[in-house]
Every structure is written in structure tokens, then in C-alpha cells.
Structure 1
Amino acid sequence: MPDMDWAALGRKPLNYAEVGATAGVLPSGYHHIRRTAALGQGRSCFEEAADRLMHWGVQRGAGLRIETSSEVAEEGTLLTIRLGPVLAYGRVVYTIDEPDRRGFAYGTLRGHPESGEELFAVRYDDGSVYVDVVAFSKPATWWSLLGAIPAAVAQRLVTNRYLKALKADA
């Protein structure tokens, strides 16, 4: 992939209005995903998984080709993700940095085949560690609308890969 023009990408607007909605009630009119997987036990498992997550470990572990404007996910970080011939653009819209929960959500930019947001979070709950994926999306282009059924299948497969990406033995 040629060098990304981050300045030009940063001028692209988000292509949806419900920014931050993965933190609460998901908006109507979109396909919704809420999935969780156990990662292991203990504070060190949480810290290691959170560090991998914030360094794009979910996306890389799922086999996606990702380029980012920052090594660590932080609000405003730009990203491009390539899955086969499809190139998608996003921006981190918020991060979570709490003692027992860390993560980030990115929203889709104009030019992304879908419109919506994805949240990736690791949480520590009574000694157990979990990864959560929450998303809402809908087709944003005529060709993604035509391919909605294969896209939904691909989204389920990629979500399953996301959930496995942070396991230490994966």
C-alpha cells in the first residue's frame, strides 16, 4: 500500500450521525453486534490483553491489514483497513481508560463501504478477563448494499476472529 496521506484522510467526515453510540443504546436502522469472549484470569492477563488491544492487536490478530496514524489507539487516530480488495477508512471517536476496562471505538469515514461504529474493549470482572465487541453498521454505498448478505457473513466471520485475536494461546 502506498504511503497514506493522513492529512487528507483527516479531512474526511464521519459518515454517520450517532457518534459514540456504542457506549450505550445502539441506534435503530442499523445492524447490531454485541459479542463477548473470555480471555483468561488475573490482572496480568487483563493488562497484557489491554496493551495488545490498544496497539491494534484485535485487527491484526483477525488478519486485517491495518495502517494507523498512531501506534496506540487514541481519540482522533486515523486508520485504514484492507480486507481483500476493500479499503475502509475510520477514526477513533473515543477511548476507555478505566482501572478494569480499556478500549476504543472507531467510526467510519466517508468512503468506507459501511456506515457505523465499532467498539473493542477488554474488561476485568471478578478475576476474569473478557473482550467485548459492540458495533452498529449499515451499507453506505450502492455496491455494499448489493453485497449486504455476503458482507453480513464476512462481518460475522471477522467478529469471531476479533474475539479470538487477544487470547494468549491464539
Structure 2
Amino acid sequence: MSFTYPEVGATRDGEPLPDGYDHVRVRERIGHGRAAFTAVVEGVVMFDLHRSIGLRVATSQPRAAVGVRVTSTLGVGPVGLRIPCEVVWVLDEDRRGGYAYGTLAGHPERGEESFVAELDDHDDLWFTVTAFSRAAAWYARLGGPLTRAAQAVATRRYVTAARRLAARASHG
């Protein structure tokens, strides 16, 4: 199975996002210190961030690595929207960590999304979600503004979940 878009890796390192897509870039301070950073990075690369916002997540490996398949399911019980992706890059540095995944056939969108935690020079913890996407499935195209609104809600939930992970580590 191959990616459904040609600009694989375009969310890495703040590069300009490709034209022809809707863009999302949210960066917020979510905590402070090494313990919070470690907790958030672990939550991201172990896919706990996604589980914490209510997605069911199946992966080909338990930890994010290039080539790992990630299928999230949104819905209840046997009824759900399958969202297949593959990890395209991983960031594992002393003060930055996270990954990006890109869409595979069957995903309602085409594009890429990254989740990165970063400790700045003052040990403030920043979390960034970056994405570019456009509708692939008929129902995503039909949804128009509702599809964009759903993505905005998911982005907010990711940031809130990362903030919770950081807070737990700071107070735990």
C-alpha cells in the first residue's frame, strides 16, 4: 500500500506546507521541564495520545518508527470509520521528539500530520500539531466545512491530551 499524496515528509522541520491543501499548524506551551517532555514524547510515540482522545488504535509495532502502520478507528463497537496511515518520519532528539504519519488508501483525507514536543532554552514544553490535507472520500468532500471543523476539534483534543500528560508528569 502506498501513500495517497506525493509530498511525503513535508511536515518536517517547519518547511512551507504544500499548496492545494488545507493547512493546520497549532503550537502551544503545555508545560515545563524534562519530566513533562519525556511523558509527552512517550505518549506521542506510543500512540497513547490518540487513544486518549477516544480513538481505537491498531499499529504494526507498539512504538512509532518509519514504516509503522497506524489504523485509528473513530466510532463505537463494530461501527467505525477506519483511518489508515503510515509513519513517515520520527524525531528523537534530546529536546525534540515526535513523528508524522501520512494517509494510505481508505483514509477519508489525503495528506500528513505531525505531533512534536519540544523543550526550549528555558525548559518550557511546547507541543505542535502540523497538518496538510484535502478530502479524498466522497463523504469527506460532501462534508466540506464540517470536515474541517472535525479536524479542528481533533487538533484541540490532541493539544489538551498532551497538556494532561505533561501535567501528570509534573505533579506525579
Q: Percent identity?
A: 38
Residue 25 of structure 2, aligned match among 31, 34, 38 = 34
Aligned to 1:132: 128
Aligned to 1:162: 158
- What is the alpha-carbon distance in structure 2 between the residues aligned to residue 44 and residue 27 of structure 1? 35
SS at match of 2:149: helix
Farther-moved stretch of structure 1 (126-135 vs 160-169):
160-169
Aligned to 1:21: 10
Structure 1 portions without partners, runs of 5+: 1-11
Aligned to 2:35: 44
- What is the alpha-carbon distance in structure 1 between the residues aligned to residue 118 and residue 155 of structure 2? 17
CA displacement 1:105-153 (0-9 Å, x = unmatched): 0000011110000000110012101111000000012221111221111
- What is the alpha-carbon distance in structure 1 between the residues aligned to residue 136 and residue 22 of structure 2? 13
Structure 2 portions without partners, runs of 5+: none
What does 1:4-83 align with in structure 2 at a 5 Å threshold? 12-23=1-12, 24-83=15-74
Whether the 8 Å CA contact 1:74–1:95 is kept in 2: the answer is yes
Given residue 71 of structure 1, which amino acid in structure 2 is its aligned partner? P
Instruction: Give the number of equivalent residue pairs.
Output: 159
Aligned to 1:6: none
SS at match of 1:111: coil
SS at match of 1:35: strand
**Cα RMSD over matched residues?**
1.2
- What is the alpha-carbon distance in structure 1 between the residues aligned to residue 30 and residue 48 of structure 2? 14
- What is the alpha-carbon distance in structure 2 between the residues aligned to residue 29 and residue 49 of structure 1? 31
- What is the alpha-carbon distance in structure 2 between the residues aligned to residue 13 and residue 100 of structure 1? 31
CA displacement 1:18-60 (0-9 Å, x = unmatched): 0000011100000000002222111111112111111112211
- What is the alpha-carbon distance in structure 2 between the residues aligned to residue 71 and residue 42 of structure 1? 26
Aligned to 1:98: 93
Aligned to 1:3: none
What is the TM-score when the length of structure 2 is the normalising length? 0.88
Whether the 8 Å CA contact 1:80–1:87 is kept in 2: the answer is yes
Given residue 14 of structure 1, which amino acid in structure 2 is its aligned partner? F
Residue 145 of structure 1, aligned match among 141, 148, 165 = 141
Whether the 8 Å CA contact 1:75–1:94 is kept in 2: the answer is yes
Given residue 123 of structure 1, which amino acid in structure 2 is its aligned partner? E
Aligned to 1:119: 114
